[in-house]
Chains A and B, each alone.
Chain A
């Protein structure tokens, strides 16, 4: 494919910087407008990762920190595809996740919540998408988690997801939520996203077809990164 730019971000579906109900954003949001940049080679390139960078067990959070037994909690598979806005698979891209354990407790020295740590659960994983853009993780469904925003705010069960794509301009961090969680509509962080349809895009669907009977229940979560312009008016159109 010829060098080309990526589609501009649809800012009507992305959270703005200043979202006062999520209080920390107030002092951490720029007040001036961003300068729009036509992309150069600095933006259409980005880091490349390979299987030498990670280990096969890294995508299995049930085993990757287990000491003497499996972690406690609902055993789940999270799987899906990374696509771009043209529905092309994003192959060989690094996907990283992190999350709390079944009690809503994070393994982080700054987390002081009274939910117990699980000695067999670390809470992070990483993998590289295959030639179809497909990825999967095995993990424990995280618990809800209280946080100091309003007096009684609870995060919905969520998994943080980080994806690189093929260029630095596609870099994305987001959060995966679970179908049917009644905390989703109450959460000021979810509500930073202005478009209800865009919020739906963050809710992983229960996927019975991918569940493993008597073992593990599955959720499906597809990720879409910015699409890339193809060169129009070319004789060959397979790039489109």
Chain B
């Protein structure tokens, strides 16, 4: 008998298409249907830490802004804790850490308000399928059980739109966190040092009294943003 692996297979992705707003941001599509649309408030009113504004644009391989893109942000609070059972602890009441951001149909500009995330501390040990007990008994495996080094403040972004067949994952770091960025284990995975800069949002003054960061995502070509296979 031939041995079989009986895992199911992940459902394949398809583009979100040009009318993604109908489902995920119906107000932007032009109609009001839900009591409350999800993803408008990332940090909530009680979040501690520094309030910031992030703005940017997504640019295609022709140099044109992508005007029908939808981004989702996922971030820790100012103490580096995610609002999730495995996120490392408790977060402020109302802090979801997740948001949905759409572009202006005319300009392609997008923006969101949040708090600056903290360094994500190595509270969660991740192994490659090796239990701590086994690792403790076998020095060969201890390396795999080492905690990840602290990560510099970052916001994970997931980008979908017409023409994007499977959501693109990237991370936004803060250019003014120089020391933390130098030590960040993910930035350091990027062998081409000049590409790391594509993940840095630059601080550009203030908007309505709140620090403003600018983050441009280039899908293709010169200064192409680093995307991750997570």
Asked if B19 and A17 make an inter-chain contact with CB atoms under 8 angstroms apart, the answer reads: no
Complex contacts, B1 vs chain A, CB 8 Å:
none
1/0 contact trace for B19-63 toward A, CB 8 Å? 111111010011101111010000000000000000000001110
| Minimum C-beta distance from B60 to chain A (A) | 4
Asked if B120 and A40 make an inter-chain contact with CB atoms under 8 angstroms apart, the answer reads: yes
Cβ of A70 within 8 Å of any chain B Cβ, yes or no, is no
The number of residues on chain A lying at the interface, defined by a beta carbon within 8 Å of a beta carbon of chain B, is: 98
Complex contacts, B169 vs chain A, CB 8 Å:
34, 169
Tell which of B131, B168, B190, B219 touches A232, judged by Cβ atoms closer than 8 Å: B131
Complex contacts, A9 vs chain B, CB 8 Å:
10, 229
Cβ of A230 within 8 Å of any chain B Cβ, yes or no, is yes
Complex contacts, A41 vs chain B, CB 8 Å:
82, 86-88, 120, 123-124, 126, 148
Assembled-state Cα–Cα distance A84/B227 (Å) = 24
Asked if B163 and A173 make an inter-chain contact with CB atoms under 8 angstroms apart, the answer reads: no
Q: A13-B9, A202-B11 are in contact. Are A231 and B158 (CB under 8 A)?
A: no
Asked if B164 and A28 make an inter-chain contact with CB atoms under 8 angstroms apart, the answer reads: yes
Cβ of B230 within 8 Å of any chain A Cβ, yes or no, is yes
Cβ of A42 within 8 Å of any chain B Cβ, yes or no, is yes
Asked if A27 and B19 make an inter-chain contact with CB atoms under 8 angstroms apart, the answer reads: no
Q: A27-B220, A85-B8, A224-B8 are in contact. Are A109 and B30 (CB under 8 A)?
A: yes
Tell me the nearest residue of chain B to A87, going by C-beta. B8
Q: 16 A-B pairs, CB-CB below 8 angstroms? A: A14-B10, A28-B162, A35-B227, A39-B230, A42-B82, A46-B84, A97-B23, A98-B19, A108-B21, A123-B22, A174-B13, A195-B12, A225-B10, A231-B127, A231-B129, A231-B131
Assembled-state Cα–Cα distance A133/B175 (Å) = 42
Tell me the nearest residue of chain A to B157, going by C-beta. A168
* Chain A, range 25-79, C-beta contacts under 8 Å to B: 25-32, 34-49, 53-55, 58, 64-65
Q: Which 5 pairs, one residue from A and one from B, show the smallest C-beta to C-beta distance?
A: A98-B23, A24-B163, A47-B98, A28-B163, A45-B84
- A residues sitting closer than 8 Å to B (CB atoms) are 2-5, 7-11, 13-17, 19, 22, 24-32, 34-49, 53-55, 58, 64-65, 83-87, 94, 96-99, 106-111, 122-124, 126, 160, 162, 167-169, 171-175, 189-190, 192-193, 195, 198-199, 201-202, 223-227, 229-235
Cβ of B74 within 8 Å of any chain A Cβ, yes or no, is yes
Asked if A35 and B228 make an inter-chain contact with CB atoms under 8 angstroms apart, the answer reads: yes
Q: A10-B9, A42-B154, A96-B23 are in contact. Are A30 and B220 (CB under 8 A)?
A: yes
Asked if B230 and A17 make an inter-chain contact with CB atoms under 8 angstroms apart, the answer reads: no
Complex contacts, B127 vs chain A, CB 8 Å:
2, 4, 231
